[in-house]
Amino acid sequence: MSHSIAQLRKFVAPEIIFGDGSRHAVANYAQTFGADKILLVSDLGVLAAGWVDEVEADLAAAGIPCQRFLQVSPNPRAEEVMAGARVYRDHGCSAIVAVGGGSPMDCAKGIGIVAAHDGHILDFEGVDTIRVPIPPLIFIPSTAGTSADVSQFAIISDPLRRMKFSIVSKAVVPDVSLIDPQVTLTMDPFLTACTGVDALVHAIEAFVSTGSGPLTDSHALEAMRLINGHLEALVANPQDGELRAQVMLGSMQAGLAFSNAILGAVHAMSHSLGGFLDLPHGLCNSMLLEHVVAFNFEAAPERFTRVAETLGIDCRGLGPRQVRQRLIDHLVALKRAVGLNGTLGSAGVRIGDVPFLTEHAMEDPCILTNPRRSCERDVAVVYEEAL
């Protein structure tokens, strides 16, 4: 491959409408896609918060009927995707609207894949496995974190193998993302902290990823600045609309960065952990974050120094080891400040689980773009340190 081709970078993103009230554009877009019936994918928590009724009413006012699909677990399961695809087909739906966090959005992506192809969702594991166009996807995120609404990832759990698998394709980038900070008003402080730290990890991993480049770096750095500067205050003042908008914007920027630069070992190890113990994804990330940063630092010291500077750490006159320690201390302090201080051991991981977790982390596509090459022993040691 010639040098010039190796430097080419592709950047994919949905059409994005950002701002308070953007959720009300849902019917407008459904009409644009010519949808005569919508599969509305969400979960019981989002239903209880009132957003399902509101979106359904907006669509009904435009004369567009909905079929609800709410059987989505916090880590969406392969069989739930299959059930949703049956509902999509049985009711003659022609587009999918998802309102919720990463779980309903990832489930909706899976439903779209299966509805377009027949077959089983497990057949589409991996990169670029999708052969035909999937139904239009209109997403309304209710958390400021996972960025499933802007990414080319869908992460599905397979309870039989006790693991999560990744589907990576620009076919699963939604057509439209209606990013409305008002919808995040109904998050509790724990969910705000988990999803906010997830977004910060997206930004850091995308910035040091081997897939990073000028199109993603600016998004990653701005995401770090916004989340680092506002997340702690938002967890303390969840009703503050301006703080919500800043964290939501940071989350969106982080999503644009990682969707295109891909991620690293925190996510590879977190996907393995979340599939094994069915824990919240953001919590898994937070428990692994500083341990992976400590492992990766030496492979990209200049990049990590820029991360530290962006997080407000004064690095003048410091050597790499000092910067590394200050960055780790800062990340741990931020986690504590938002109430996330658990270890893997406290979450139920035992030393005997490490080989299983390591094996699956090594199979995750995110490990391929980690800045430091990792063998099984490396990953096992990081898991052990995080216990």
Spatial distance between the Cα atoms of 349 and 343, rounded to a whole number of angstroms? 9
How far is Cα 138 from Cα 149, in angstroms, rounded to an integer?
Answer: 9
Tokens (6 digits) for 368: 């391929």
pLDDT tens digits, 336-376: 999 999 999 999 999 999 999 999 999 999 999 999 999 99
Q: Burial code of 243-263, b = ≥16 C-beta within 10 A, e = fewer?
A: bbbbbbbbbbbbbbbbbbbbb
pLDDT > 60? residue 3? no
Q: Enumerate the domain spans of the chain.
A: 3-184, 187-386
Q: What pLDDT, on the 0 to 100 scale, is given for residue 2?
A: 43
CATH number of 3-184: 3.40.50.1970
Q: What is the fold, at CATH topology level, of the domain defined by 187-386?
A: Dehydroquinate synthase-like, alpha domain (1.20.1090)
Distance CA 114, CA 130 (A): 10
Stretch 233-246: mean pLDDT, rounded?
A: 97
pLDDT of 6 reads 59
Residue type present at position 82: M
Query: Tens digit of pLDDT for each residue in 152-207?
Result: 999 999 999 999 999 999 999 999 999 999 999 999 999 999 999 999 999 999 99
What is residue 5's predicted lDDT score, i.e. its pLDDT?
53
